[in-house]
Chains A and B, each alone.
Chain A
Amino acid sequence: MAQELVNPALGKDLLGLEELTREQITAILDTAEAFKEISDRPVRKVPYLRGQTVVNAFFENSTRTRVSFEFAEKRMGADTVSISTTGSSVQKGETLVDTARNLEAMRIDMVVIRHASSGSARFLAERIESHVINAGDGKHEHPTQGLLDLLTIRDHRQSLEGLKVCICGDVLHSRVARSNLHGLRRLGAEVAVCGPLTLMPADVRELGVHYFPRIEAAIEWADVLNVLRLQLERMKGGFIPSLREYNRVFGVTRARVEAAPRDLLILHPGPMNRGVEIDSDVADGPHSVILQQVTNGVAVRMAVLYLLAGGPVADTTEGAA
């Protein structure tokens, strides 16, 4: 009965949060909520994806996202294969689309793709029949990261409606920032970005966000900080003068967090550069929900796999059980 009330349609693929409606995002989060407990069972396995074949195609280095997807797939009972750039035919000059078509010729159901080029997940999705899940495409989007951030915030603050969330740091190069921004806005949050202009994409305010040039002002404004990883090579590119100065001027430090007028919630997509964008006593402190993000990542990915495979949205409203 409850299953008939909800619309399972996520479409064929999950490419980004920009294309999703509020209802679709909420459906994923609600389903993830219901799946959280699976990972706490003695036998962490459900048969929802039994007989389905999932390929994790990682054309760019990743540990946590790949492992998180693999756990999600295995806990859902899917058969999985993971390929990475090293050792794949990609290094022999095979094109992205040929690699995908060859995989598809072996009869698969889903491809999880991580690739350094923006738009690569969409490129693939338009050319193969299997479901495609974007696990990070260049500087474009990383939708499952955005979803797990939303789920984590929702765990701590009942609603995102009107919540003030500031995304701090290297927004320019960040797919996490873009997915967060779209997802947060879709769920009614007020969004800001903070960092030096060298790390801000052009016309970012046209996406409907505030901009804070200094972290102090951002912290005074925000309920939630999502602190982005600063790629250490940005210094060589001239985007910032030094990591030390970055920490001094833009770092999320204990003193700054303690000076906040509100009880802050602090997220970080990882991996962290302790002492650069975030100090250890903040990362490990009472405001941080960083490890919970990692836990939620598995549930969110289970939900995405399940919904794309055609499963009905879990109804977690009262009385549905």
Chain B
Amino acid sequence: MRPLLVRGGHVVDPSQGLDAVLDVLLVDGRVARLGERLDAPEGAEVVDAGGLVVAPGLIDVHVHLREPGGEHKETIASGTRAAVAGGFTAVVAMPNTDPPVDSPAAVGFVKARGEMAGGARVFPSGCITLGQNGEQLTEFGELVGAGAVCVTDDGKPVMNAGLLRMALEYSRSFDLPVALHEEELTLSRGGAMNEGIIATRLGLTGIPNASEDVMIARDLVLAELTGARLHIQHVATRGGVELIRAAKAKGVRVTAEGSPHHFTLTDEAVEWYNTNAKMNPPLRSAADRGAVRAGVADGTLDVIATDHAPHHYDEKEQAFEDAPNGIVGLETAVGLAYTELVATGLMDLATMIERMSCAPARAMRLDERGLGSLREGSQGDVTILDPHLEWTVDPAHFLSLSRNTPFGGRRLRCRAVRTIVGGRTAWEGGR
């Protein structure tokens, strides 16, 4: 592999408090040197990053790659190509596939397919319970041995509090993050969108904020009790943000996600039954969106994660209640985060990179593997961003197999123009 020298970029690496114009030299897949005016070694490829931002590779800890079983929506190959096109050098693959990733063999399959794909790195997650049935724990030790970086029943909550306590306690032997989809199913009652005036007008069953808040409260108590690494997925309510903020102040070990759609849209986007605005947790009120934005800004929600959830055209081409939940997010996340949070003055670019690279790495313990940093010796994963680039979201150009986004036609600022994984350019374009 040729050495790669990224020259003259504005290096922003919150993991080491770095914010300066520097060269980054990648050799043998790792960061070899960081400094001013480095000499290009013989045979090195030189990339001019003048006027661009050079960041540690972005990491999305919440991605549905749909393989095995949902290859008409996405494959590990297409999903990881979409990831690098969106600036992500690593993703954590959710295990709610068909069959679910609840065995070491399945974890190994996802990992192997990820290595073959040549896009973003794929870190598998495993289910908390067998078949995501909420009844019997999976073999956490075996899953970790096969390469799982966390366990989650994502898409479904763990309704049984006693079982979740066991899962959290058991996870401690491996210091394994436990990621939770927070939803009290008896409160959400099969609802299709946020409870409120829009749901009332559209005649759709609403999901109250309480459905999420009650479970977040319960699980923060259990995290405190067990001392486990709790990771709360896609927080969408103001109550949830407040609960997590209070728990963090108390020292509870918890990380949490804010999703681009939750900090950008409200349930008004559903109006007249837009199935591309249907997801779970649902888009909520302006007050909730404001709380998610504030939570991401102050670090209560330390991780920006997309919940990339591809669905085939036919599946979204149904009456609202019959359509599945979820939207694609990998290729719009950078633009939305910058446009909604940085360009609006809520946070600076370094904080955005912290939330999209360093913090996700720590939440899933990928920092221990040299991710989420450009320190010398780290993995050679680099995302080069053009924060001045204005572009229009055109789903037809997505590398994802699916197009289910509510952001088609939206003008955004900032885009990844080169994504380098392990010292090799995995994607280049955007301009």
Contact = CB atoms under 8 A, between A and B. Distances in A.
B348 interface: no
B205 A139 contact: yes
A201 to B, nearest CB: 4
A178 B319 contact: no
B199 A202 contact: yes
A204 interface: yes
Interface string B205-225: 110100000000000000000
B201 A18 contact: yes
A119 B320 contact: yes
* Most chain A beta-carbon neighbours within 10 Å: one of B201, B204, B317: B201
A9 interface: no
* Most chain B beta-carbon neighbours within 10 Å: one of A96, A122, A202, A206: A202
A202 B197 contact: yes
B203 A178 contact: yes
Contacts of A120: 319
Nearest to B194: A202
A137 B202 CA distance: 10
A201 B200 contact: yes
Interface in B147-206: 195-197, 199-206
A117 B199 contact: no
Given A119-B272, A206-B197, A140 B319 contact: no
A37 interface: no
Contacts of A139: 203-205
A206 B133 CA distance: 40
* Most chain A beta-carbon neighbours within 10 Å: one of B204, B206, B319, B321: B319
A115 interface: yes
B109 interface: no
Nearest to B192: A118
- Size bracket of the B interface: 20 to 34
A117 B204 CA distance: 9
A120 B204 CA distance: 12
B203 A138 contact: yes
A118 B321 contact: yes
Given A117-B322, A138-B321, A178 B201 contact: yes
Contacts of A206: 197, 200
A207 B272 contact: no
B200 A140 contact: no
A203 to B, nearest CB: 4
A119 B202 contact: yes
A207 B201 contact: yes
Interface in A116-160: 117-120, 122-123, 137-141
Contacts of B203: 118-119, 137-141, 175, 178
Nearest to B198: A203
Given A122-B272, A123-B273, A139-B205, A203 B200 contact: yes
Interface in B292-323: 314, 317-322
Given A95-B317, A97-B317, A204 B322 contact: no
A123 B323 CA distance: 12
Contacts of A204: 200
Contacts, number: 68
A117 B323 CA distance: 10
Nearest to A117: B319
Interface string A174-214: 01001000000000000000000000011110110000000
B314 A118 contact: no
Contacts of A97: 317
Given A140-B202, A175-B203, A207-B201, A119 B208 contact: no
Given A117-B321, A119-B272, A202 B195 contact: yes
Contacts of A175: 203
Contacts of A137: 203
A95 B314 contact: yes
B319 A115 contact: yes
A123 B319 contact: yes
Given A96-B319, A138-B321, A118 B197 contact: no
A178 B201 CA distance: 7
A263 to B, nearest CB: 32
A175 to B, nearest CB: 6
Nearest to A178: B203
Contacts of A201: 199-200, 206
B200 A207 contact: yes
Contacts of A117: 319-322
Nearest to B205: A139
B213 to A, nearest CB: 15
A139 B208 CA distance: 18
A90 to B, nearest CB: 12
A118 B196 contact: no
Contacts of B206: 201-202
A209 to B, nearest CB: 11
Given A96-B318, A96-B319, A202-B195, A122 B273 contact: yes
Contacts of B318: 95-96, 123
Contacts of B320: 117-119, 123
Contacts of B319: 96, 115, 117-120, 123, 138
Contacts of A115: 319
Nearest to A237: B189
Contacts of B197: 202-203, 206-207
A140 to B, nearest CB: 3
Interface string A53-93: 00000000000000000000000000000000000000000
Given A119-B203, A206-B200, 12 more contacts: A96-B318, A115-B319, A117-B321, A118-B320, A119-B273, A119-B321, A123-B319, A139-B203, A178-B201, A202-B197, A207-B200, A207-B201
Q: Which 8 A-B pairs have the closest CB atoms?
A: A140-B203, A117-B319, A139-B203, A119-B273, A201-B200, A118-B203, A120-B319, A203-B197
Interface of B: 195-197, 199-206, 208, 272-273, 314, 317-322
22 contacts: A18-B201, A97-B317, A117-B320, A118-B203, A118-B273, A119-B202, A119-B204, A119-B272, A120-B319, A122-B273, A123-B320, A138-B203, A138-B319, A139-B203, A201-B199, A201-B200, A202-B195, A202-B200, A202-B206, A202-B208, A203-B200, A204-B200
